[in-house]
Structure 1
Amino acid sequence: MSSLRILSRSLLVGGLTAALLAPGAGARAEPTPAELTRQIEQNSTKLERVVESWNRLNEGIKANQAAVAKLTARIGPLEQQVAQGRADVGRYAVTAYKTGGLGTAEVLLQTADRDELLVRLSTLDQLARDRDRQVAGLGATQRQLLDQKTRLEATLARQAAQSRELATGRKKIEADLSRLYELRRRAYGSATEKPAAKPVAAPKTKTPAASGRAGTAVRYAYGALGKPYRWGEDGPGGYDCSGLTSAAWRAAGKSLPHNTAMQWNVVAHIRRAELRPGDLVFYRSLGHVALYVGDGKVIHAPTFGRNVEIRDVDLMPPYGYGRVR
């Protein structure tokens, strides 16, 4: 089953949230704030999985676009090689005719010196071999060009189909978010947290010093505190969980894919005792990721309607730990 179909099926979360917002039957009591909080957390977790599926698909599309660019860059030179090969064959034909390509019988009749005859025959034979190689090379180049074009067209077709399905998927996610925000409004009186007017200052608790690239990533994460959760984004105005970690390490000169599971696949897996600032902490069976900043704390983009925050590393049971290589 393709990731797109998995993504579409995951979007059935909307049915769950819609049921929560439907008018109650008879004298059914309204959910308590505690019940709404639990429902919000459950649906946020499910929707975050959908977002991470979308992020994975988007990473695939970016890879396809890069492949398309490389293929396009190669097609021009290949076409030039084909044209040059044809021109070379044409020049050989003219040259061979002018230098004696009139047939062995005429050469024998016109040449009295046997050694000269052998030289001319050898030259003609070599020219013929060269011509055969040129023709073979031309054919190989043409086949290579056609193969490159075929792969390019197939990549473009897949990309177009993925883009159409992504557009549909995005609308469904946004509809689910609207329902989720309504749950938050009913529970807390506000659909979303208000973004901080300015970056939240680092806590007074002393954190281990982090130098080098890891230090840059940690400082970036501190600068993102208080900014809103925005699905599919990697800053600077907002972040989802893997968007924050990829942006922090991008600022440090390292490229991480914008997807939690893909980040897990590219980092070095370490033990908890080895954690140091800049490492990644993974949660929810690779459905969530945070940046470790030292002193038992992580910074993460929590979920819909909330802002980037600093929390204890055990904000939920960790799945594993990773170090950017």
Structure 2
Amino acid sequence: MSSARKLLRALVLVGLGIGLTVPATAAQAEPSPSELTEQINKASTELEKVVESYNKLNEQLKQTKAASAALAARMGPLEAQLAEAGAQLGEMASVAYRTGQAGTASALLDGSGPLADRLGMLDQLARDRRQRLEGFTEAERRYTEEKAKLDATVAKQTAQIKELAAGKKKIEADLDKLYKMREAAYGSATSSGTRYTGSIPSISGKAGVAVRFAYNAIGTPYVWAAEGPNGYDCSGLTLAAWRAAGKTLPHNAAMQWDVVAHIDRGSLQAGDLVFYSGLGHVGIYVGGGKVIHAPQAGDSVKLSSVDMMTPYGYGRVR
């Protein structure tokens, strides 16, 4: 046996004797805290997009339900009109069946009354029958048309409810992964928020009401699809702040962008909304280069720089 082979055999025997271990460099290294934070931020951004999609679908479902209720309310009177028109048509048919249309001939031939009067009577009867038939046909058309709309709306509503249920499952699964990542990085899945105890800027009007609400919400936990009072997501917070000021906003950042007046950075005032992440995130500007926002799952409502991310745009609630 060559000396090289003897040395290799000796090394193997020593390794077996002491319990051979894989060098650290050969194993996958654990991510550093900074790497974990980067992964968490990326996962949170993706999750927020899913949450905002869920919120948008929920808003659309509200609109669908409202449309369905309005259509259903119209169906009652239309059904009554159709029934009345049908009854009139049935009565006319019954009379025609019983008389065998003999009344028409006898009115012309029995010689009672002037001929012009008799012809006028027949013309009126014909018009009355035609009007009743047209009335029934129109009532039936309106009823059928509205019923088709209602059926389509109910089908759409059912599909939206199913889609929401699927979206909820995905969010819950993504949250479970995110919380595990946060626990590995920070030792806890969630961070406890601290209420704001500083002075709140004095701002007049409805914007001031919205800003005070936002300051008082600092420290409240992020809760997906929530609009208070015990938790908020990003669009839920801006919705709730402006609801306190008597204004209505949809629960979705992109839909809020659609209903606000778009302004430039130089026009920014306290109470305006600041949009981020391709309309996937929104906060409320409170002045001094700061926004209050509900950042991400596991975190709480906080005061941050308006440039915490690159703003997508700025909007003023009308």
TM superposition score category, shorter chain reference: 0.7 to 0.9
1:104–1:121 CA contact under 8 A, matched in 2: no
Query: In the alignment, what sits opposite 2:267?
Result: 274
When normalised by structure 1's length, the TM-score is 0.82
Q: Deviations over 1:173-196 (max 9, x none)?
A: 111111111111121111101244
Identity %: 56
Q: In the aligned structure 2, how far is the partner of 1:94 from the partner of 1:183?
A: 79
When normalised by structure 2's length, the TM-score is 0.84
Query: In the alignment, what sits opposite 2:68?
Result: 68
1:27-38 matches, within 5 Å, as 27-38=27-38
2:108–2:118 CA contact under 8 A, matched in 1: no
2:193–2:221 CA contact under 8 A, matched in 1: yes
Query: In the alignment, what sits opposite 2:308?
Result: 315
Query: In the alignment, what sits opposite 1:200?
Result: 196
3-state secondary structure, aligned to 2:279: coil
1:95-114 matches, within 5 Å, as 102-111=102-111, 113-114=113-114
Query: In the alignment, what sits opposite 1:81?
Result: 81
Deviates more, 1:221-230 or 1:164-173: 164-173
For residue 92 of structure 1, report the CA deviation from its aligned partner: 5.6
2:208 counterpart letter in structure 1:
G
Question: Is 1:166 matched up with 2:159?
Answer: no
Give the number of the structure whose alpha-carbon radius of gyration is greater.
2
Q: Alpha carbons of 1:317 and 1:103: their partners in 2 closer, same or farther (altered >3 Å)? A: same
Q: Alpha carbons of 1:82 and 1:307: their partners in 2 closer, same or farther (altered >3 Å)? A: same
For residue 263 of structure 1, report the CA deviation from its aligned partner: 0.8
Q: Deviations over 1:193-249 (max 9, x none)?
A: 1244xx433x33x635131x2222222212211111111111111111011111222
Number of positions where the alignment pairs a residue of Structure 1 with one of Structure 2: 294
For residue 51 of structure 1, report the CA deviation from its aligned partner: 1.1
1:221 counterpart letter in structure 2:
A
1:284–1:319 CA contact under 8 A, matched in 2: yes
1:294 to 279, 284, 287: 287
Deviates more, 1:151-160 or 1:297-306: 151-160
Query: In the alignment, what sits opposite 2:53?
Result: 53
Q: In the aligned structure 1, how far is the partner of 2:61 from the partner of 2:129?
A: 44
Q: In the aligned structure 2, how far is the partner of 1:108 from the partner of 1:131?
A: 18
1:46 counterpart letter in structure 2:
E
3-state secondary structure, aligned to 2:278: coil
3-state secondary structure, aligned to 2:275: strand
Q: Alpha carbons of 1:127 and 1:214: their partners in 2 closer, same or farther (altered >3 Å)? A: farther
Query: In the alignment, what sits opposite 1:263?
Result: 256
Query: In the alignment, what sits opposite 2:39?
Result: 39
3-state secondary structure, aligned to 2:191: coil
Q: In the aligned structure 2, how far is the partner of 1:318 from the partner of 1:83?
A: 59
For residue 36 of structure 1, report the CA deviation from its aligned partner: 0.8
2:55–2:251 CA contact under 8 A, matched in 1: yes
Q: In the aligned structure 2, how far is the partner of 1:105 from the partner of 1:227?
A: 87
Q: In the aligned structure 1, how far is the partner of 2:254 from the partner of 2:276?
A: 10
Find runs of 4+ consecutive structure 1 residues off by over 6 angstroms: 93-98
Structure 2: segments with no counterpart, 5+ residues = 1-23
